[in-house]
Structure 1
Amino acid sequence: MAPQIGKPVFTAEEPQSRSVAHQETITSQPTLHHHTQVTADADALKFNAAASTQLRFTNGTTQPPGPDSNDDKQQQLIISPYNDKYHLLDLQALDTPNQLLALALTLLKPIRPDYATAPYTESFNWDAVFGFLRDLARATGHHWKEQDFYVVEFRSCLRSDADPVALHELDAWSLQEAVESGGLLKYWFGTKNGKRENLATCMFQPLFFLSRGLPKLILGW
């Protein structure tokens, strides 16, 4: 099931089935491996949901900390194809619903090769993301109430003479500013197709777009 902009993704009548990938593993909110223990390969982060490998499921057991670990560093989540210290999300700054959604969005990846031009709601693995979100809410004992989140969809067609290095630098700086400003939960962008078309998308906390009248994604069950 794909999310519908402005309509509930989950309804009270919908069965709250567990996601297959995690049904035997989640008993509490996962902790995080240090981001340096996760690949920095952009394609893996875009297309293979490599950010999800940062999540560590302990099942109630105690595991030794990773290298250079402390409480602050271990709360820095990879939320984009940029795995470096300037583009991480501080989970400690978020309340529980936003933490859980940010964790669930580490699974986000496209499910069709024509995502650059295909309908947005049919282009990603929303079933897996929101199934995982249900599992996380259940495992942490969080009673999920209907929440508003804001989605931005960027469609682009690059000029033939566009400078890819300059565009990459501008994108990285823009994301760093967005992370520092607060509100961002996820940033994803693809790779341009043969017609130089591409898709990028962001998901924000509701306070960031409060009273701006932008389309919203409603999550409730």
Structure 2
Amino acid sequence: MRMRSTSGSVARRRGIIALVIGVLACTFVATPTASAHGTIVGPATRAYQCWQSWGSQHTNPAMQQQDPMCWQAFQANADTMWNWMSALRDGLGGNFQGATPDGQLCSNALSRNNALNNPGRWRTTSVGSSFTMRLYDQASHGADFFRVYVSKNGFDPTTQRLGWGNLDHVTTTGRFAPAQNISFNVQTNGTYRGHHVVFTIWQASHLDQAYMWCSDVNFG
């Protein structure tokens, strides 16, 4: 009795499996681009600084002593650092202050990122009275504008949560075309010294999405 050859059906099944895998692969590759966003990488925001410093060694017990603010942030919610590019809120319509309570500015009022609001000795980036802000935007959304503030003289980031009344408005930029890397200069009045918080609002161009971050700096 002759056995039926199964080579044809096996080949067809393999072809179908390959097609399904190909479709899924395209979906997974496309997803990060669609959902990716960005952050200020210079001077580094709190979440980005923690990810940059400890992302590859986030279980290192030395972090508790060497960088206690990042340690408490990782303990509270490590996803805050893994998703440093996703601190956004939709549909604020420019009502940044009304929609963001005092004490929640550094987290952009996102409860999952609340550890970023905690006062303490966050690592700082040294800057002068004039410095450059650098945004890395994975999906190249562009910007309607950036609005930059510096914490007032007398505000202590190591003991106080940041509120709107603690800020000096420094500059608001114009529009930026879509790009992964955007830079612009910030000029202060030269009166700041020591540890301050640079608070930045990025109004993205593709949708009504508002990003807010705190970067800790040391004015020399």
User: Does the alignment reach a TM-score above 0.5?
Assistant: no
Higher relative contact order (CA 8 A, sep 6+): 1
Structure with higher Rg: it is: 2
Tell me the TM-score normalised to structure 1 length.
0.26
Higher strand proportion, which one?
2
TM-score (norm 2): 0.26
